[in-house]
Structures are given as C-alpha cells and as structure tokens.
A and B are shown apart, each in its own frame.
Chain A
Amino acid sequence: MDVPNDSSSPTPGTQQPAVTISKLVKRYGSFVAVDDVSFSIQEGEIFGIIGPNGAGKTTTVECISGLRVPDSGSISVYGLSPQRDRDKIREFVGVQLQQSALPERLRVGEALELFAAFYEDPLDPGEVLESLGIREIERAAFKKLSGGQKQRVSIALALVGNPRIAILDELTTGLDPEARRGTWALIERMRERGVTVILVTHYMDEAETLCDRLALINRGRLKVLDTPEAIAAESGMNRLRFVPSQPVQDETLYAVEGVQAVERKGRVVTVMGTGDLAASLIRALADDGVQVSEIEARRGNLDDAFIKLTRDAASAASQEVQA
C-alpha cells in the first residue's frame, strides 16, 4: 500500500479539481456558520482548512461529505452533487468524523471488516491496520483502546473503502506528540497513493507540515487561500532579537523599513515586522555607530499569520459581548 499509484498521482499542470465549492452558505437558525465560501481542491493535494473554534470548518467539510445540506451555493465532487448523488459520492469519499465512537464491545478487526463490506472495492482490512501500525490491536474491543489508537482506528475506517478523497476532521486532537508524528506520516503516505486529503485542523504546525494549500476560515468567511509558506510570509511577522552596543531610541528603530513593533527586556531588544529585518536594521544602526550582538532571527510563521488574520474578528467579537 506504500507503492505510489502513478496513474492517479497528480502531475503538475494537468490537475483537475476534485472538489469545487462555490458561494457556500450554511445557517443554523439565525447563526451563519458558513458565509459565501468558495474554493476548489485539486486532485491529489493535501488541502488544509484552518480557523479558530466555531469558524465553520467542520460545517464546510460536512457539506462536502453530504452530511449537511447547504442553504445556498453549490458543491461539486468530481462533477457530482453530495446531495443528489449521495450514494455515488459515499463510495469514494472516506470520512473521519470529529466525534464518533464505535460500539464499546466491537473489536477493531470486526469494525474494519464491516466497513470493508460496505464498499464496492475495499482495501484489505489487515493491510490497512498494518500500514497504520495497529495490527496488534485487531482483536481489541474499542473501549479498551487508548486515545491514539482510537484515532488510528477512525482513520483506518476512513481508508478501508479505498477512497479517492479522504476528509479528516481534527484527526490529531488529543494525541501525544509521538502519535501525532505517526499520524502525519500516514497522511504523507496517503498523498503518495494519490488520495486527495481534506484536513481540518487548528494546529498550525500540522497545517504547515502536511498541507499543500490552506484555506483559513474565520467566522464563516474565507480569509486567505494559499500555500502555508505564502500565508506565513505575507501575514506572519518576522522577529529579530539582538543586544545593541549602546542604547537605541525607539524612533530610530521604527524608522527602519518594515519594523512594526518594538519590545524591550533589559538590554535585549526585539523588533517585529516584515521583510528582511536583519539586513536593514544592522545597516541602519551601523550608520549611527551602533553594533549589534547576540542576534536571533525568526522568520514569520503560520502561528503569527493565524493570529493576525483572526485577531480583527476576535476583537470585534469581544466588543459585541461587552456591548
């Protein structure tokens, strides 16, 4: 199962969209969970959907898998509608749900056999367990499993039907670091097999490591859609920490191109901003005869970008609560 499937692996330039969402709207009563979201997902890519809790991530993927009916907008999964062609789509879309337990006394192997029987062309349940590294719990009852094992069983159930698209919702929440790494390796292997993966997460490191492209959803709206690198570079703040040879005024620092914030802690100065901070700062300070030492630079990352992109909405929300 680790052998890449050449016929279905994506070739740059000839990619076709696996999923296309256009102007999707979903309301729960008066609450608008998803508000005019449009994007498309290419075949074979790992597409991440990130956003704060309650942003509408799960609702969006539940509309793709046909578990929820959109109020307006359209969704196409390989040209099929999740509502009208429900049965056909279920055949090749594997879903791992955020919260769902198996019957307590059902054994792992039995659950996989059962799901395999549901599909037209399933994978071998034993091999799926093997590839997930959980062959040894085949005869264990679900209630005896650890959190990580349950999570892996959940992924196994999403994969045993041999899907072309796998929707994985919050799949590493509650896992220990080792289990998380193991799960990530699994998803990489799914990519190698040509499976299109839609990954819902609120872990930025997970999104950065795994995803080819990310959609950031906040309060039901699509804020950004790009590669993790591009999002981090565009919205993440670079940081430069250093010790100046003599005191420097804030004004001097703010005058440097790209600097947006300055923090001080004893002799240590930290500036935050965009662009190549180190080069421009060192040059500007050298002009004033100031040397810098103990330089520590950190490139903008997705965490910063995430916070920046969701902050405006969050402060607006807290104002609403106060009012």
Chain B
Amino acid sequence: MTPSLGGALGRRSRHQLGALLKVQAKLSLREPYGLGLGVGFPLVLMVLFGFISKNVAGNVGGSGLTVIDLYVPTIMVISFIAIAISLPNTLVRDRESGWLRRISTTPVHPSRLLTAQLILDLVLAAMAIVITIVGGQAIFGAPLSVGIPYFVLSLVLAIAEIFTLGLVVVALATTQTMASAIGGVLFFALLFLSGLWLQPVQAGAPLRDIMWYSPSGAAVRAILYSVFHATPPLTALLTIVGYTVVFAFVAVRYFRWE
C-alpha cells in the first residue's frame, strides 16, 4: 500500500468514525442513561459521603482514613460500572432492531459503531474521574496525593476490566429485556463489592477477601492505594488483569453483530 493511499483510507475511515461519533453523541444526549448514571450518580454519592464524612470521626475501621477518603475510589469505580452497564442499553437494542445489520450492508462494519460508543464512554469516565478528584479534594478535603504512574495504571486497568464486563453483557444478552435483567443484577452486585454499603476495611475476614478479589473490589483497592501515593498491591492489579482477560475472551467468543 502506498503512503498516499494509506493516508486517503485513513482520512476516509476517520471521516466515517467522526460521523458515527457525532450521531452516537447526539443519541446519548437525547437518552442520557450513561451520562446520568455515569456522571450524575457519582456526583450525588460524592455530596452524600462528603457530608457523612464531616459528621463521622475519621479512622474508619482502623484504616486511618476518613469516609470520603475511602469513598473516592469507590465512587470512581461505581461511575465506570454505571457507564459500562448502560452500554448494552444502546448496543443490544441496536442489534435487536436490526440497526447494526443495516449498517453492515454499507462499507462500514458495525464494529465502528461500537468503537464510537466506547470512545464516548471513555470521555464520560474521564469526566467522572475529574469530578470525583476535584470534589473529593477541593470540596470535602480528602488529602489525596496522587502518584500519577500508578494512578493512571490503576484507572486504565479498572476501566478496561469494567468496560469489558459490559461487553460480556452485550455479547450474552440476546434481547434488550435480557440485557436489562442481567445488567440490573450485575449493577447491584458490583456496587456492593465496590464497597458502597460497607467498605472492605469494615468487613470481616471472608467478606473482605471476597470484595478484594471481586472485579469491582480489586479495582477500588488498586485505585485507593494509588490516590494516596502508595504502590497498589500486585495481587489487586493481577486480579484486575485476570478478570479482564476472562471477560475479553467471553465477549469475543460470544459477540454477535446480528
């Protein structure tokens, strides 16, 4: 392939992706599940736990951390979960209604629509991170001292893991009803394991380990260390990578465009 041809193809496919991004963004704004859950929900939780933190003495469960300190990573992971769980909402419906199939009759493969949606969801996740950091530190005074390399690493791994889990739901659910059912159960299970109701440091031995080695609990644990400038435990990082590999395998194995 000559460089000029490569350039032309690249330009063309960027043009196609750009058009898809524009359409997916408009649709997301008209039906803002992802936006509402992914950004609105953490905002509400932030305010809630911020005020609880002001009224409760620090050193939760002997960890030396206040409520808001502990909840900053939990809220971040919850926002990733909310965004990932809203992914099947659009994709399963688009597949069920025949929209993906309709697109596959054009020169553009429907995987491009998935790419566009994932890019938008990454933007949402970034917004949620910024809101949580700024809110946690500036408004509620969590003494964050983020160690950038580990922080970025933990976030990238966490987002990859949680989004891949969303794709597993897209791959396995044949109908939108089924996607909502699976998504709903998964959402609350992951919320619990991320420490929304009970932080791992407050839990007893078996439950704490279950949370630490769960998909959302491991993500929270890795982020928690990295926002306080500590090295995340290798077991937490490996747990996340392990889940991501398994989820990716299942998603790829069972994914259908029609």
Neighbouring B residues of A100 by C-beta, 8 Å: 97-99, 101-102
B12 within 8 A of A: yes
Q: Pick from B15, B22, B27, B101: contact of A67, CB below 8 A.
A: B101
Neighbouring A residues of B19 by C-beta, 8 Å: 113-114, 117-118
Q: Residues of B within 8 Å of A, CB-based: how many?
A: 26
Among the stretches A14-22, A87-95, A183-191, the one at the interface with B is A87-95
B20 within 8 A of A: yes
Are B105 and A101 closer than 8 Å at their CB atoms?
no
The docked-state distance in angstroms from the alpha carbon of A91 to that of B9 is 14
Neighbouring A residues of B31 by C-beta, 8 Å: 105
Closest chain A residue to B31, Cβ basis: A105
A157 within 8 A of B: yes
Are A90 and B105 closer than 8 Å at their CB atoms?
yes
Quick one: which of A231-257 are within 8 Å of B by CB?
none
Quick one: which of A71-124 are within 8 Å of B by CB?
87, 90-91, 93-95, 97, 99-103, 105-106, 110-111, 113-115, 117-120
Quick one: which of A191-230 are within 8 Å of B by CB?
none
Are A117 and B16 closer than 8 Å at their CB atoms?
yes
Neighbouring A residues of B175 by C-beta, 8 Å: none
The docked-state distance in angstroms from the alpha carbon of A113 to that of B23 is 9
18 more contacts with CB within 8 A, not counting A91-B107, A161-B107, are A67-B101, A67-B104, A87-B107, A90-B107, A97-B105, A100-B97, A101-B99, A102-B99, A103-B93, A103-B94, A103-B97, A103-B99, A106-B26, A110-B26, A117-B18, A118-B19, A119-B107, A120-B107
10 chain-A/chain-B pairs, Cβ below 8 angstroms:
A91-B107, A100-B101, A102-B102, A103-B90, A106-B26, A113-B19, A114-B20, A118-B16, A118-B103, A120-B12
List chain A positions with a Cβ less than 8 A from chain B: 65, 67, 87, 90-91, 93-95, 97, 99-103, 105-106, 110-111, 113-115, 117-120, 157, 161
